[in-house]
Amino acid sequence: MSMKETDMSGRYGKSIAAHTRRSRVIAGGVNSNVRLMSRPVPLTFSRAHGALIWDIDDNEYIDYAAGMGPTILGHNHPRVLAAVTKAMQSGQCFAGQHELEAEFAESLVATIPWIENIRIGLAGSDMDLLAIRIAKAVTGRSNILRFTGHYHGWIDPLLVGAGPTKSPFGSPPVGLGQSVAAASEIVMCEWNDISLVEQVFAAHQIACVIMEPIMCNTGVIPPQPGFIEAVKVLCKKHGAILVIDEVITGFRVGLTGAQGHLNVTGDITLYAKAIANGYPMAAIGSSRELMAAVGRGEVNHSGTYNSGYLSVAAGVETMKILVEENPYPALQKSTVRLVEGLRKIGSGKGLAVDHVAGSLFQVRFGAQEVMPNREHFAKNSDQPKLMKFLDSLQDRGVRPTSRGLFFVSVAHDDKLVDRTLEIAQAAIATI
Ligand SMILES: Cc1ncc(COP(=O)(O)O)c(C=O)c1O
């Protein structure tokens, strides 16, 4: 066992046995490397409903991992469940088109003013790959500028060393088995450092800049005022494409995502996670002009499971609920209640809570001020303390993601938020 080796609380016996069984036949006992981080072992879950989730030891958790972000309406939302159940009775995948695709695309285009044309895929990583392909095809260039601490999926060339970058001119380190040639296309900059971005544009032919509009894969770190606008100006000046990866922030920070919140837009937008409330679906959206080469078949985007009937049914219904019911003010209210409660509870213990907008936030132990980039975040996030706090929360029935990111859903009512705060108070007393 490579993680916290013992189950001191005795709460996870069945999960430990299930992990041992799985590990004999599944590499590491998990099917996504991110899940290797769970403690004491990657847990095994039996069911989830609303804001709650249960593991096979029958431990109940208030779930803030929310499937790593997707379940904005809570697990098993009755309307989404009904739509998927109905779709399931008509078939699964058709190797052809179905009417729900147009319905989903029309509602996305109607909701997001800067999108005219979309493609539907399976996961965020697919859409990131397609975005850089389009940018390379349109510009005839191959270099991609991205930011330290941001994440754009597990595919080459985008998965490169996430560590602090002093010089934007060297190729970033890659993981074992990854393409060094592909990684040489990537130029890294520190988030919020516009002078580095300027230097890169002066030295390289850049096809696109790709960013999370609010960095959510290393803390929750906003762009400094004017930063994205300045990047956009540089993109325009140099004929590069600005790709905004809203895989986490899309439909979570608000109906129009982080771009709507920040009032600045890119050329290509990527969605996944919250668009289908937990079903495998992602989308790329842009102008008709930028998507044209994909439509002509010149830029390849393919996939057996793309726009699967069940997933699109979930996407159509999720979008309808988000538009019709506008849960965002209530989501914001419960998130702020939780954020402020945690700040109060943790003030004497060095707990910082980073919240920018919408229903997600990060907890860490370190300086209270807003962090500008990954390097500052790393210096101001005491990992052993955070892990102890997260373990203590989990043992008491609260489950954020394994790096301390919380996703709030419409199913987290005031009662659950208050219960979370009581548990957090008990957990922080152990730190
Ligand atoms: C901002 C961002 N982009 C892309 C991805 C990749 O998405 P997926 O895991 O669906 O491939 C993620 C995953 O967490 C993400 O956070």
337 compared with 181, residue with greater pLDDT: 337
Q: How far is the CA of 125 from the centre of ligand 1 (A)?
A: 6
In the chain, pLDDT over 90 holds for what percent of residues? 89
Q: Are residues 271 and 337 in the same domain?
A: no
Confidence of residue 2 (pLDDT cuts 50, 70, 90): very low
Supply the pLDDT for residue 171. Answer: 62
Looking at the predicted structure, is the pLDDT value of residue 40 above 90? Answer: yes
pLDDT digits (tens, 9 = 90+) for 410-423: 999 999 999 999 99
Looking from the CA of residue 32, the nearest atom of ligand 1 is: 9
Q: Phi, psi (5° rounding) for residue 232?
A: -60, -40
Residue 289 shares a structural domain with residue 341: no
pLDDT exceeds cutoff 80 at 382: yes
What DSSP character marks residue 221? B
CA distance 61 to 70: 17
Q: Does 222 lie in the same domain as 293?
A: yes
Q: How far is the CA of 377 from the centre of ligand 1 (A)?
A: 20
Which ligand 1 atom is the nearest neighbour of the CA of 125? 11
Task: Tell whether the model's pLDDT for residue 408 goes beyond 80.
Answer: yes
- How many other CB atoms are found less than 10 A from the CB of residue 288? 10
Q: Rounded distance, CA 209 to CA 187, Å?
A: 9
Count of the separate structural domains present in the chain: 2
**70-92 confidence digits (pLDDT tens):** 999 999 999 999 999 999 999 99
Task: Output the ligand 1 site: residues, CB below 6 A.
Answer: 68, 123-125, 128, 151-153, 212, 217, 245, 247-248, 272
Q: Quote the pLDDT of residue 254.
A: 97
pLDDT value for 133: 98
Show the tokens assigned to 216.
């959510």
> What does the pLDDT average to over 244-251?
98
Quote the pLDDT of residue 162: 57
My answer on whether 363 and 218 are in the same domain is no
5 or 251: which leads in pLDDT: 251
Q: What percent of the chain has pLDDT over 70?
A: 96
Q: How far apart, in whole angstroms, are the C-alpha atoms of residue 208 and residue 132?
A: 7
Query: For all residues of the chain together, what is the average pLDDT?
Result: 94
Whether residues 185 and 276 share a domain: the answer is yes
DSSP state of 361: E
In a domain, 342, yes or no: yes
Domain holding 424, by residue range, is 44-72+327-428
pLDDT of residue 161 exceeding 80, the answer is no
- Pick the atom of ligand 1 nearest to 126's CA: 11
- Residue with CA nearest ligand 1 atom 4: 152
Residue 26 domain-assigned? Answer: no
Q: Is the peptide bond before 40 cis (omega within 30 degrees of 0)?
A: yes
Write the CATH number for 119.
3.40.640.10
Return the best residue to mutate from 31, 32, 152 for the ligand 1 pocket (most ligand atoms within 8 A of CB): 152
The DSSP code sequence of 11-24 is --HHHHHHHHHHHH
Q: Whose CA is nearest to atom 1 of ligand 1?
A: 247
Question: Is 271 part of a structural domain of the chain?
Answer: yes
The mean pLDDT value for 104-116 works out to 98
The pLDDT tens digits of the residues spanning 325-374 come to 999 999 999 999 999 999 999 989 999 999 999 999 999 999 999 999 99
Residue-level pLDDT at 169: 61
State the DSSP string of 148-213.
TT----SSTTT----S--S-TTSPPP--TT--HHHHTTEEEE-TT-HHHHHHHHHHS-EEEEEE-S
Give the strand pairing for 405-407 and 398-399.
unpaired
Distances (CA, A) of 376 to 145, 190, 225, 382: 21, 11, 18, 12
Token digits for 153?
């999926």
pLDDT of residue 3: 45
Distance 22 CA to ligand 1 centre (A): 25
pLDDT digits (tens, 9 = 90+) for 261-293: 999 999 999 999 999 999 999 999 999 999 999
- pTM of the complete model beyond 0.85: yes
220-233: buried (b, 16+ CB within 10 Å) or exposed (e) per residue? bbbbeeebbeebbe
What's the CA-to-centroid distance between 218 and ligand 1, angstroms?
13
Ligand 1 atom nearest to CA at 68: 14
Which residue among 155, 156, 248 is best mutated to probe the pocket of ligand 1, counting the most ligand atoms within 8 A of its Cβ? 248
